[in-house]
Amino acid sequence: MSYIGRFAPSPSGSLHFGSLIAALGSYLRAHSLSGQWLVRMEDIDPPREIVGASDDILRTLEAYGLRWHGSVLYQSKRSQAYQDCIEQLLINNQAYFCQCTRKMIHAMGGVYDGRCGSGLKSYSSGAIRVRNAAKVNHFHDINRGDIHVEQAFAAEDFIIKRSDGLFAYQLAVVLDDAFQGITEVVRGSDLLEASCRQLSLFDMLNVPAPAWLHLPLACAKPGFKLSKQNYAPAIDIKAPQQSLNAALTFLGQATVDVDHIDVMLTQAISQFSLADVPKQAEIILPQTA
């Protein structure tokens, strides 16, 4: 099977250095294996999105020479596919409505105990949770090795549609990875645990799961990753060479001493070494970064 990877940003702000790590890492991995690199816009959470951010992200990728194959997939155009899946899960008794609040779940110890799916009560509104039969609690990550998560987290019936009517990330990402034929997911280590829930859903839907490769997170301080929510500064699109070399260094790769961005990427692809990618969960950036 030919390699198909992807970069899937959310349009909640401009790309920052942490975003560049994920984009460049997935791009280099795909091209080093002569595969395809797709871009998906995860725009299913309007309250968190910023007008114009999708176009800004795409312009930034182009400025960095990170050109994608095919058309950009917008999750906002996939609502019917998500709803069709949910309705089938409800029909098959593989999902159910839940009216538990965050306060109630906190009182349960922070992990939902499945009470709304126990059969004692049956709701017809609220959030929709998948009846987690697979309970996947471990997987092999190509960069990090064998990953295990707490059984309570792995066994939880997680939300696939929110009570406000918005589709949950866990459902959308699984359906879209399957739809696009993604063979390997390269992304930040903050999503390690989420991989188990996604694997459970792949199993329930009887769909082949991709391989996983998680990269270290760029952090300003321990446990504080660069993110749009933390107001990480946007990367420079007018002079991308410095940021690109900084990202290569972060990923354990040799820098490229040329000015033309396309030549930089061609050389970076040719010398890409997965073995040199750091295996820790996070890397603290120098204060000057």
DSSP state, residue 189: G
Q: Is 194 helix (H, G, I), strand (E, B) or coil?
A: helix
Q: Please, how many CA atoms are within 13 Å of residue 288, restricted to the half-sphere of its CB?
A: 1
Q: Determine the distance from the C-alpha atom of residue 265 to the mean position of all C-alpha atoms in its chain, rounded to a whole number.
A: 23
Check: CB of residue 282 under 8 Å from CB of residue 18: no
Four-residue CA torsion sign, 228, 9, 21, 67: negative
Work out the number of other CB atoms within 10 angstroms of the CB of residue 52: 10
Distance CA 69, CA 180 (A): 12
Binding residues for Zn(2+): 98, 100, 112, 116
β pairing state of 282-284 and 217-221? parallel
Nearest-5° Cα angle at 198, 215 to 39: 55
Binding residues for L-glutamate: 6-10, 42, 169, 187
Check: CB of residue 197 under 8 Å from CB of residue 158: yes
Binding residues for ATP: 228
How many angstroms separate the first and last alpha carbons of the chain? 39
Residue 172 dihedral angles phi and psi, to the nearest 5°: -60, -45
- Of 139, 146, 143, which Cα lies nearest the Cα of 28? 143
Binding residues: 6-10, 42, 98, 100, 112, 116, 169, 187, 228
